Amino acid sequence: MGSLTRRLGVTALSWLLVFGGLRAIVTQPERCGPVSTAEVTDAVSEAGDWFANNQNADGTWLYRYDRDSDEDIGGYNIVRHSGVTMSLYQAAAIGTPGALETADRGTAWALDNLVDVGDGLAFATGERVEAGASGLLLAGLVERREFTAEDIYDDEMAALATFLVGQIEPSGAVLAAYDPQTGAPVPGEYSYYFTGESSWALARMAENFPDDGYADPTRAVAHYLATERDATEELFPPVADHWAAYTLSEIDAWSSGDGLSEDELGYAERLAKLFGSQVRYESQRSNSAWSYVIRGRQTLAAGLGTLGEGLTSLFHIAQTDERLAPHSEAIAERALCVSSLLVDRQASAQTASQYTNPQRVQGAWFQFGITQMDDQQHAMSALLRSLPVIDSQSEEDE
C-alpha cells in the first residue's frame, strides 16, 4: 500500500506540475483587454497633443526625452521626422484636433530641406541622402492630399516620387542611399525599412496619379519584397516589415482592381504570422518581476506600434481578399490587442502630473523613463488604424 500511496502522490504532483508549470512559464495570460473607439480616439488625441506641445519653432520635434531627469537627450532623425508628419496626417484624416496644423509645420521644415537629386528631389539635411525620409514624406503628403483635396504639393510629390523610382534596381530592390557627389544611387546598400517605405509611397502615388506610371515600379518592389528580399539581403529572421504590409494593403485597395498576386498574398500571410506571434508574446509581458524574468522587458511603443500598423494593414486585405479571409478574425484580434496594450501603456495626465514637465510626458509612451518621438508616431498610427477593426467587430457583435 506504501507503493500505491507514493504513486498516487506522484500522479497528483505530475498534474499539479504540468498545469502549474504551464501557467507560470508557458501560458502567461495575454493581457488584451477590450478597447473602445472612444479610448482609441482619446489616446490618438493625447499623442497628437504631445506632438503639438513638443514641436520646436522650426517644425521639428523633441526627439528623445528622459522624464525622470527632465532632460532633452537630443539627436534627430529625418526619417522619423517624415514618419511623424505622415502619422499626424493620418490623425488629421480621422479628425484629430490640431493634427493638420502640427503636421503642416513639420512638412514646411521638410520642404525647406529638399535637395536636387538628378531629375527629382529628396529630403536630406546633410551630405547623406536616404530614400526612407523621402518615402515617408511623400506618403504623408499623399495622405494630406487625399483628405484635404488640396493639390498644393503636387510638384514636390512628383519630384520625390521621381527620386524614389530612380532608387529602384531592375530586381525591384530599393537602394538605400543616393550619392550627390556621383549623382547616382549608392550601389549595394539596402535598408531594412526604406524598401517598404518607398514602395508604400509609390503605391499611394499610383492610386492618386494613375497615369503617371507609378504602378509598375510599385509592383516590382512588392514582388521583390515578397519573393527575394529576405534571402538576397540576407535578413534572418525574416523582417516583420510593417511598411511592406502598408504597401500590400495599398495595392489591394487600388481602384484598378488588380488585387494581390499569389506571391504577394503569400507574403501577406507570412507577415501576419510574424506580427501575430510577436503580439502574442508581447501581450504576456507585464511589469511584474516574474514576467520580467520569463518574458523580458516590455517592448518599445514604437516596436509595438509597428505590429499594430502591420496587422491593421493586413486586416484591410483580409476584408477584401478571400484568400486571406481565414486569418481575418485572428488578425483583428491581434490588432485590437495591440491597441489595448497601447492604451494601457500611454502616460496619462495623472502620471504626467508626477513629473517636472508634464507636457513632455502626457500622451507619450516610455521605456525606462525615456521616450522617443517615433514611439508616439507608431503608437498613434497603430491606434487610429485600428478604428475600422473596432467598427467591424462591433458590427459582428450586433
Partner 1 sequence: MNTAVAIIAMAAALNPARRVRELSNVEGPGPLMLGGLIALAGYLATAAVAPSLLDGLDISDPNAQIAAAFVVGIRALIEIFSQPKPEPLPRNPTLCVLWPVTFPALLRPELTVLALAVGSALGVGPVVIGALIGLCATVALHQRLPERTARWLSAITIVIAITMVIDLLVDGILSV
Residue of the chain from 272, 304, 336, 384 that contacts partner 1 (CB under 8 A): 272
> What is d(CA 146, CA 204) in angstroms, rounded to the nearest whole number?
10
> What is d(CA 364, CA 10) in angstroms, rounded to the nearest whole number?
51
Nearer to partner 1, 8 or 108 (CB): 8
**By the rule CB under 8 A, 4 interacts with partner 1:** yes
Backbone angles phi, psi at 253, to 5 degrees: -90, -5
> What is d(CA 175, CA 172) in angstroms, rounded to the nearest whole number?
9
> What is d(CA 30, CA 27) in angstroms, rounded to the nearest whole number?
8
Residue of the chain from 36, 56, 69, 277 that contacts partner 1 (CB under 8 A): 277
Residue-level length of the chain: 398
**By the rule CB under 8 A, 3 interacts with partner 1:** yes
Nearer to partner 1, 8 or 235 (CB): 8
Q: Letter for the amino acid at 366?
A: F
DSSP string, 235-264: -SSPP--HHHHHHHHHHHH-TT-----HHH
Nearer to partner 1, 18 or 108 (CB): 18
H-type helices in the chain, by residue range? 2-21, 37-53, 78-93, 99-111, 131-148, 154-166, 194-208, 215-227, 229-232, 242-253, 262-282, 289-295, 301-320, 328-345, 349-352, 373-385, 387-397
Residue of the chain from 273, 288, 290, 297 that contacts partner 1 (CB under 8 A): 273
- Please, what is the minimum distance in Å from the beta carbon of residue 47 to partner 1? 26
Task: From residue 351, give the alpha-carbon distance in Å to each of 51, 67, 240.
Answer: 18, 11, 32
**By the rule CB under 8 A, 8 interacts with partner 1:** yes
Q: Which stretch binds partner 1 (CB under 8 A): 20-28, 164-172, 174-182, 183-191?
A: 20-28
- Please, what is the minimum distance in Å from the beta carbon of residue 280 to partner 1? 6
Cβ 140 vs Cβ 132: under 8 Å = no
Nearer to partner 1, 30 or 66 (CB): 30
Nearer to partner 1, 3 or 350 (CB): 3
Q: Which stretch binds partner 1 (CB under 8 A): 34-42, 174-182, 189-197, 274-282?
A: 274-282
Cβ 139 vs Cβ 197: under 8 Å = yes
Q: Which stretch binds partner 1 (CB under 8 A): 26-34, 88-96, 140-148, 183-191?
A: 26-34
Cβ 238 vs Cβ 274: under 8 Å = yes
**By the rule CB under 8 A, 288 interacts with partner 1:** no
Nearer to partner 1, 30 or 72 (CB): 30
Residue of the chain from 80, 204, 223, 327 that contacts partner 1 (CB under 8 A): 327
| Residues 105-144 as x/- pattern, contact with partner 1 by CB under 8 A | ----------------------------------------
Nearer to partner 1, 28 or 218 (CB): 28
Question: Which residue ranges make up the site for partner 1 (CB under 8 A)?
Answer: 1, 3-4, 7-8, 10-11, 14-15, 18-19, 22-23, 26-27, 29-32, 272-273, 275-277, 280, 284, 327, 330-331, 333-334
